[in-house]
Amino acid sequence: MKLLNVAVIGATGIVGKEFITLIEQRNFPVGELFPFASERSLGEFVEYKKKEISIIPLKKENIADKKIDVAFFSAGSAVSKEMASVFSKKGALVIDNSSAFRMDKAVPLVVPEVNGDIVKNMKTGIIANPNCSTIQMVPFLDIVNKHAGIESVFVSTYQSVSGAGKKGIEELKDQVVTLFSGKSSDPQVFPQRIAFNLIPQIGPFYPDGYCEEEVKMINETRKILGIKDLDIDVTTVRVPTFFSHAETVVINTKKECDTAKIKKQIENHSEMILMDDPEELLYPTLIDSSRRNEVFIGRLRSNDTKRRVSAWVVADNVRKGAAYNALRIAETALGVSYE
């Protein structure tokens, strides 16, 4: 396998760091690694294969002399909008973790096990990685859709603070310490206090009453599944946990469904793990999925109409919801295999 020169944009962030850990763990065929971040990180370095590699400030002049095959962007949508095309015009395949291009008709939005075929042999251009909450939900929706057809979907999310990046993690830590010291601190990252609280808002509100994260999940799910008029409703909630997101997913189906068959498909799925035995009190929690690449499914059940499936869906937002899905997109597009 040809070695690939890899750029990570946002290499000092939560997603960027996890990405570097993963390419090392999976033995991705890296020629040179170029870790980019902002000017603030000048003098810092990342560790890759026991070597320290200096952070490169993201500027056009620092890219000009480099041959880059694949660039993973996780530095926010403003940076992606400004710089993704600079990398792709130089011949790199850009996998973008931000929301900048997800709804662009010309840009594929991909969860490889659901619609990876659309990027096979795509060696340059831009591919968008979906929102973390969307990524963990659509493989399950896809299974149920193929089994019994989806009539409608209702989702509630329970999203950890790491979804808001390193600043989100710091805010929860600081608030817990401050509150235990008998003091209080004003929220900076989240709209209200997150410690010992739940916040039913992720991102700004739109005039119709939905917040940004809910709109992302609705639009992205429709695009990935290729069902433009999918009847889907979402409520997104920030919870005071550090890593992994959970979701309750309720699907009304067109035909009667057989939960035993759905469970079998999940058990046989390479990217999913079924943890579902109520008698043994077995179901996935955030802790089970942390630092894991798979989506964990439990509490799978159908009501007496047999035209409804409900489940509890858990995954690591930084892994499955970001770095791991992005890496698998690159593997699919560039034909990377590890045999």
Ligand X SMILES: NC(=O)c1ccc[n+]([C@@H]2O[C@H](COP(=O)([O-])OP(=O)(O)OC[C@H]3O[C@@H](n4cnc5c(N)ncnc54)[C@H](OP(=O)(O)O)[C@@H]3O)[C@@H](O)[C@H]2O)c1
From CA 180, how far away is CA 91, in angstroms rounded?
Answer: 52
Q: Which is nearer to ligand X, 40 or 261 (CB)?
A: 40
Q: What is the largest CA-CA distance in the chain?
A: 64
From CA 285, how far away is CA 275, in angstroms rounded?
Answer: 10
Beta-carbon count within 10 A of 318 CB:
28
Q: Is residue 257 flagged as an active site residue?
A: no
Footprint of ligand X (CB under 6 A): 10-16, 37-38, 40-41, 58, 74-77, 79, 97-98, 132, 162-163, 165-167, 317-318, 321-322
The residues, ordered by sequence, that sit 6+ positions from 219 with a Cβ below 8 Å of its Cβ are: 102, 103
Q: Which is nearer to ligand X, 97 or 290 (CB)?
A: 97
**CB-nearest residue to ligand X:** 13
Q: Are 241 and 251 in contact (CB under 8 A)?
A: no
Tell me how far, at minimum, the Cβ of 171 lies from ligand X, in Å.
Answer: 12
Q: Is residue 211 flagged as an active site residue?
A: no
Q: Are 129 and 110 in contact (CB under 8 A)?
A: yes
From CA 39, how far away is CA 59, in angstroms rounded?
Answer: 9
Tell me how far, at minimum, the Cβ of 315 lies from ligand X, in Å.
Answer: 10
Burial class of 148 by CB neighbour count within 10 A (0 to 12, 13 to 18, 19+): buried
Q: Which is nearer to ligand X, 96 or 276 (CB)?
A: 96
Tell me how far, at minimum, the Cβ of 191 lies from ligand X, in Å.
Answer: 17
Tell me how far, at minimum, the Cβ of 58 lies from ligand X, in Å.
Answer: 4
Supply the Cα-derived Rg of the chain in whole angstroms: 20
Phi, psi of 219 (to 5 degrees): -65, -40
Tell me how far, at minimum, the Cβ of 168 lies from ligand X, in Å.
Answer: 8
Q: Which is nearer to ligand X, 15 or 155 (CB)?
A: 15
From CA 115, how far away is CA 142, in angstroms rounded?
Answer: 10
Q: Which is nearer to ligand X, 33 or 37 (CB)?
A: 37
Catalytic residue among 211, 245, 257, 269: 245
From CA 132, how far away is CA 323, in angstroms rounded?
Answer: 10
User: Catalytic residues, which ones?
Assistant: 132, 245
